[in-house]
Structure 1
Amino acid sequence: MRNGHTSIAAKKQVAGRSRVTISDVADDLGVTKSTVSRALNGYPDIAEATRLRISRAAERLGYRPLAHAQAIRTGRVRSLGLVLQIDADDGARPFLANFIAGVTQAASEENWTITIATAESEKGVRETLSRLVDEHKADGFILPRTLLRDRRVETLRAQNIPFIMFGRTEDPTDCAWYDIKGEDAMRAATARLISLGHTRIAHVPGGQEYTYSKLRIEGYRAGLDAAGLVFDPDLVGAPALTGRDGDASVRALLSLPEPPTAFTFAVDRAALGAYRTARDLGLRIGEDISIIAYDGLPEGAYADPGLTTFAVNSRQAGERLARLLIKRIRGTAPEDLRELAPATLVERGSDRPPRLSSADLALRLKTNSLI
């Protein structure tokens, strides 16, 4: 209803006539067809408030664009692309369902769809990206788990295809991103352990090729520096993405002449491997050694004791990435689409004041001949 009268679009619906058109939306709002068309197709000359008003009216009236006609007119298929590498060590992480739900929800609210594909190698991912571009299956792409040198970025940048990264990369040229401040989390984790009384703190990084791993090591070092503790490269363990690798990395660190009494981990899955180490070596996590990790995996809550970790809101990340990518596709400069969000500390029982000094821990392990 507008001004006490039934709108043309409403009359059409009541009479069971043909589908609602752009003209009906324009008449309902008292604006031109061109304004409605440009607003719904994301042209930058339309103010955001106007775009939202028209988008809501279109939804209220039941307007649905003809996808093929819109694609011909705008060159867009109104679809966001996501290509997942399924052979990666952590490629099937539990966060994925929430992440995709967030992407889908945000895209749906803008009347966009999602095209999801998988590949078994880094090369396969790049080939799939190029194929989806050639087949006009997606207007732009979300790139998760970015690398320091990310060839997916190079591929899309060379073809002038819009993309947004869930993460950052070494060369930020023409890059948009949404990322979690993992470096701040690792700095806070290190500071927390120091405040508990630990002075010999190790860090187990993630894969060396990932940007997040470099940033989290930097955060660990910043935490030490802030407390006046000297960085010891021997306390940076072997990279670990799995429980098995986390176990191996922690065993090696505990074999040092001055073993650490506390550990920060770049990823939860590696941290959970340390529980096996502690069990085998007769140590109690939260008493003999302390652990803080990052990711917020559900399994951490069921460890004994529960894993203290910095959690990421994966659904919110997916929603934000979808909205930012749509803006990028509509012409917003990538430099204006760079957002960082904090991780949230989840306190459990794996980090406590040290019961043993580094020297006492070394003596205990040596006496038991466990290392």
Structure 2
Amino acid sequence: MAKRQLVLEDGTVFIGEGFGSKRVSTGEVVFNTGMTGYQEVISDPSYCGQIVTMTYPLVGNYGINRDDFETVTPFINGFVVKEASDAPSNFRNEESLDHFLKAHDIPGIQGIDTRKLTKIIRRHGTMKAIISDLEPAAEHLAEKVRNLTMPTDQVKTTSTIKPYVVPGRGLRIVLVDFGAKHGILRELTKRNCHITVVPHDYTAEAILRLKPDGIMLTNGPGDPKDVPEAIEMIQHVLGKIPVFGICLGHQLLALACGADTEKMKFGHRGANHPVKDIKSSKTYLTSQNHSYAVREASLENTDLGLTQIALNDRTVEGVRHKNYPAFSVQYHPEASPGPEDTNYLFDDFMNMIKKNQKKHEEEAYA
């Protein structure tokens, strides 16, 4: 394998071996602490434009299979590992990690000290980086990376262009696609929902015309403040239709209700992040992937109540509207990869919709 380098904007250089695509690629370098689930990570649209580092030292050992994708087209800009297995072994394996990355033109680099890289990110925060050949010189590349302007259209890049339907006989759900994972669709179809997936910029008027029983705000990449049209849409549907937000959808719901968000130092990415439910005092293990968080202090003068917090850093993990049927969580209850402790939230969403329907029926007959 040819030698390649990973150069950070602060001038730090890691020399390793290239695999996957040979193209030069830039992006924010982030780390994921999951021991498994690299296929779901690579195909998660929330990583759009990022160079993902896996902290677990061996990646690719069970290959790539047809069942564990979270989107059809991966959007990551690079993949960094300590060791990429070239001899995967699993009964579901269909191709190697190297072959998959080549097919999707995603560059990878292995053989570097991912532990050191992770410590740098934890100490200094998320940084811009570049994966390239050994030429040109690292000093030149570091300067180039420092001057990079990061894109702000990741949601537009990952969202569906046109609406489409996943038929079902149950509750009618409009799923607003900000870069949705297939895991969310799987959980809704498991509950026999009739799902209409719409683009990120679908208007409130167009959504209400579909006569949904509930609205799902999905995960997605980037800064929630870069999607003002979604914030306006949420403001117009709140109180009319029950709403459930996940990850970016959670942040957008908070912004729509007058709260604020901020970029985290290095974010949460991985499985088994502990989250405490304030009402029940129960702690759940969750799957997470986000760079931004809702500022807890900003909830004070809104109609949102804090429902869950992260035990590692006390950041906001869940909110619920005090007057309308709407709630959201920062983590991924659909997992993929990760624990399924909070899968019950999809049932809570179904029950909230049915309770809202019953309320309207009673009001109609009163």
TM-score over 0.5 for the pair: no
More strand by share: 2
TM (normalized to structure 2)? Answer: 0.31
More helix by share: 1
TM (normalized to structure 1)? Answer: 0.31
Mark the structure with the bigger radius of gyration: 1
Looking at both structures, which has the greater relative contact order when contacts are Cα pairs under 8 Å and sequence separation is at least 6? 1
